[in-house]
Amino acid sequence: MNITEKILADHAGLKEVQAGQLISAKVDITLANDITGPVAINEFNKIGVEKVFDKDRVVFVPDHFVPNRDIKSAQQVKQVREFAHNQNLTHFFEVGRMGIEHALLPDSGIVTSGDLVIGADSHTCTYGALGAFSTGMGSTDIACAMASGETWLKVPSAIKVEFNGNLNKYVTAKDLILYLIGDIGVDGALYKTLEIGGSAIREMPMDGRFTICNMAIEAGAKNGIIEPDDITKEYLNNRSLRAPKFYYSDEDAQYERVIIYNTEEIEPVVAFPHLPENIKPVSQAGNIKIDQAVIGSCTNGRLSDIQAAAEILKGKKVHKDVRLIVFPATQEIYLSALRAGYIETIIEAGGAVSTPTCGPCLGGHAGILAAGERAISTTNRNFVGRMGHTESEVYLASPYVAAASAIAGRIISPKDL
């Protein structure tokens, strides 16, 4: 079996599973946020049970419209807050302690290697970077799991992807995953496992691995996953709240397809509107002026992302016609970036730094686009109207490219500054 099949088999209490099989499996963590949480709570209340299956394993992170942008969002968070209090949940994150859920949970040790995690947010697949099976589901599915501690799944078939070779200058994990999505398409891994490996991944720090697994859903994947190694174990050491369990694919594991890339042939890329698959090398972007640059989100709001932006911005100024907004993904990341001087560099360059929030990524708040405006963003989606008006445009890129473009006022490679 491959790593995903082994995790699912263990959680289903079976010796083995195979692609296409329907299983009922025990979950380690359920997750919801301030948009999906109220729906899950309403459905949970209909089930008729008084308590969640485990107060340590049901997690709520209000992060999408938080700090509250309006009365409706305030009411949503109030409902989640009261449910968490009434259920005596261990993990509810208030403003000042919260962060973007998919950075907060692994950094807090709530999810760990070998887990089965389901969340009412499509980018729950991020935790595959730890060697966990994690996937997004609807709020009703989450409600049932909150009550029972179980969920049902169809075992996905798997595509194995290898990135081999050294990364060129300014090429990041974001470029690799966009390159993959550009190659296979936004439905190229529909309800499949994307098992990511290769020499470039083995050398990659955890921040980059999270970025890659985060965007597995943008290729339609059920989950993205990377086998744990010494880098994973070092990250988990003194962090995991529960003992991790490490799974590895067998040498004779079956894959629907194997894709191998030479990373030395990959340069920084940009995903043009209105799909993440619509990629071009940044060197071929043309003269595209931008109004806004966003650096952050569950995809690229980690410390190394803030560091990359500061590296480009050091001693330079954001273009007078551009709004640069930076969102550290958690309070811990924000504080680390502050202590390292990255925040000072960003502010001196003319950037604005916000409290951790999903904010503009989903057209929530703190950076909405007007009609006709263009943004380059380190977020994960650029669908029509994703960050605001349906007549706005979003271009996806790495922190290096986003920061360089903020300085130039147009989409540009850092090496061309």
DSSP string, 245-302: ------TT---SEEEEEEGGG---EEEPTT-TT-EEEGGG--S-B-SEEEEEHHHH-S
Asked if pLDDT for residue 203 goes beyond 90, the answer is yes
Mean pLDDT estimate for the chain: 96
CA separation for the pair 207, 212 (Å, rounded)? 9
Q: What percent of the chain has pLDDT over 90?
A: 95
Q: What average pLDDT does the segment 32-44 reach?
A: 96
Q: What average pLDDT does the segment 308-328 reach?
A: 97
Q: Output the pLDDT for position 346.
A: 98
Instruction: List the domains of the chain with CATH numbers.
Output: 3-260 (3.30.499.10), 269-416 (3.30.499.10)
Q: What average pLDDT does the segment 403-416 reach?
A: 96
- With contact defined as beta carbons under 8 Å apart, do 273 and 382 qualify? yes
Q: Output the pLDDT for position 183.
A: 97
Asked if pLDDT for residue 80 goes beyond 90, the answer is yes
- Quick one: pLDDT band at residue 1, thresholds 50, 70, 90? very high
Closest to 213 (Cα-Cα) out of 233, 193, 232, 199 = 193
Q: What percent of the chain has pLDDT over 70?
A: 100
- With contact defined as beta carbons under 8 Å apart, do 276 and 361 qualify? no
- With contact defined as beta carbons under 8 Å apart, do 405 and 397 qualify? yes
- With contact defined as beta carbons under 8 Å apart, do 343 and 353 qualify? yes
- Quick one: pLDDT band at residue 177, thresholds 50, 70, 90? very high
Asked if pLDDT for residue 104 goes beyond 90, the answer is yes
Residue pLDDT, tens place only, 345-375 = 999 999 999 999 988 888 888 999 999 999 9
Closest to 90 (Cα-Cα) out of 128, 61, 125 = 61
Q: What average pLDDT does the segment 104-118 reach?
A: 97
Q: Output the pLDDT for position 361.
A: 86
Angle between the 206-214 and 303-313 helix axes, to the nearest 10 degrees? 100
Q: What average pLDDT does the segment 195-220 reach?
A: 97
Q: Output the pLDDT for position 341.
A: 97
Residue pLDDT, tens place only, 252-280 = 999 999 999 999 999 999 999 999 999 99
Q: In what order do the strands lie in the sheet with 352-353?
A: 279-281, 269-271, 393-396, 374-377, 292-296, 323-327, 352-353
Q: What amino acid occupies position 171?
A: V
Phi, psi of 323 (to 5 degrees): -100, 115
pLDDT, greater one: 364 or 326: 326
